Structure 1
């Protein structure tokens, strides 16, 4: 089968998995890098990104792809902060009437685009908005293995999330 030797994909969202939010009342730990130019307007949420995510993501046996509304900004603002090279970026299509119906039916607006982007390759999708509706749709519309892994946005990626990804990736042929 063509492409079967390709590594699986890991579609990675930013807000939630890498930038935790929504917990109260304690403040989040911050990880300033000290590399930001003094005159650059900085997104204060970037300091919430734990730089240990970069080496942990790079160690996974897969191709990491940005699947976020940050799009190319993820390569400019986030990848260097955590020590990752520029990654492929999913470019989201313009919304259609099908997308509007999908949302009414509970399907996430990213789901169809990620299955199309994967083009039959195994993939994991790490996001804080994945639901059982997305899992069922992918299971019936994607021919390869897929793991739709929901991350708690209050904590972001944790040791448990990395263990789940590593286990799933390790079970692939």
Structure 2
């Protein structure tokens, strides 16, 4: 019986990558023919209408395991995943803030970085966020022994064709080099 290595992880932020903030906002209709009756609809958060539903199939087609890495927490599955046509995804549980987090912030390390490396548990991962810096990349390179791609997305635009191309190429390359 042979077992294959688990697929790489893709940690996905919501605000910025999936809900762009800049320029003229494009408004996308909710999935389905009827008005969105859920409590996460545009009446509760008008920014949800900025989510491009075509991103869902593109994300689902990537050779990885999608994981929410967002302060939306479980609301990402309730409010965002249905708009993308995605099933519920695992959600990163953020720990309570600590003195280490305060020092990390002074050093320029994003508050998510340590937790995502721990959550990856040695698996290759990509992280899509609009707040990633070179400090995060350097820290991950030092503290994570497997391949990692930290992809900063322009929050004004959200995920673009170039982001999907970079993610797809990197994930495909990593997937073909994983040991069985």
TM-score (norm 2): 0.90
For the 8 Å contact 1:19–1:46, the answer to whether it is kept is yes
Partner of 1:96: 98
Which among 105, 108, 116 is matched to residue 107 of structure 2?
A: 105
Partner of 1:30: 27
Deviation at 1:42, TM superposition (A): 2.6
Gaps of 5+ in 2: none
Q: 1:28 to 1:108 in 2, by over 3 A?
A: same
1:119-165 Cα distance to aligned partner (Å, 9 max, x none): 00000000000000000000000011000000000000000000000
Q: How big is the alpha-carbon RMSD for the aligned residues of Structure 1 and Structure 2?
A: 1.5
Partner of 1:20: 20
Q: Distance in 2 between matches of 1:4 and 1:139?
A: 25
Tell me the matched-pair count: 168
Q: Distance in 1 between matches of 2:46 and 2:82?
A: 16
Partner of 1:5: 5
For the 8 Å contact 1:4–1:121, the answer to whether it is kept is no
Which among 123, 128, 137 is matched to residue 121 of structure 1?
A: 123
Partner of 1:44: 46
Deviation at 1:38, TM superposition (A): 7.7
1:36-82 Cα distance to aligned partner (Å, 9 max, x none): 21876431000000000100000000000000000100000010111
Q: 1:148 to 1:4 in 2, by over 3 A?
A: farther
Q: Distance in 1 between matches of 2:16 and 2:49?
A: 14
Q: Distance in 1 between matches of 2:120 and 2:10?
A: 10
Could you say what secondary structure the match of 1:89 adopts?
coil
